[in-house]
């Protein structure tokens, strides 16, 4: 029997915090959809494996801290913060740390995440990226 939607969403967050793209993919449906905070949609387990791997290399200490959770069966909404240090030229720098309030919506079916949507203001990280490229 498939685990509850909440348990699946919590396992997904735990895999994010471990930077474990393989565990994330094991929790994704084949046609998984990821929607970023700007509304861009990425589809497919293998495409997302590469995407998460790339993000974990760019933000070495990326971490999601969930403070509140709402579960209605097939949809789980989590509220909290996202934080990390933007890597520039293969060097993590303390001044590149960012943190922002965030929300995540997971659609779950049969113990797999069919859709993961992020709601966050990524301006703190975009600002760091612009600062680094302007140097």
Per-position pLDDT tens, the chain of length 135: 457 999 999 999 999 999 999 999 999 999 999 999 999 999 999 999 999 999 999 898 999 999 999 999 999 999 999 999 988 777 777 888 889 999 999 999 999 999 999 999 776 656 656 565 565
| pLDDT for 8 | 97
pLDDT at 123: 66
Instruction: Compute the residue count for the chain.
Output: 135
pTM of the entire structure?
0.88
* Pairing label, strands 75-88, 91-109: antiparallel
* Cβ–Cβ under 8 Å, residues 83 and 65: yes
pLDDT of residue 121: 76
Domains for the chain: give ranges and CATH numbers.
5-134 (3.10.450.50)
């Amino acid at each position: 029997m498939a685990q509850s939607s909440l348990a699946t969403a919590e396992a997904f967050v735990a895999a994010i915090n471990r930077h474990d793209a393989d565990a994330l993919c094991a929790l994704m449906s084949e046609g998984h959809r990821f929607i970023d905070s700007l509304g861009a949609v990425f589809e497919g387990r293998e495409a997302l494996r590469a995407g998460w791997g790339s993000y974990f290399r760019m933000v070495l200490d990326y971490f999601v801290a969930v403070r509140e959770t709402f579960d209605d069966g097939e949809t789980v909404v989590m509220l909290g913060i996202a934080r990390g240090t933007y890597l520039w030229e293969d060097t993590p720098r303390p001044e590149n740390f960012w943190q922002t309030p965030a929300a995540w919506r997971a659609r779950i079916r049969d113990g797999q995440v069919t859709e993961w949507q992020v709601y966050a203001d990524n301006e703190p990280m975009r600002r760091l990226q612009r600062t680094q490229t302007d140097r």
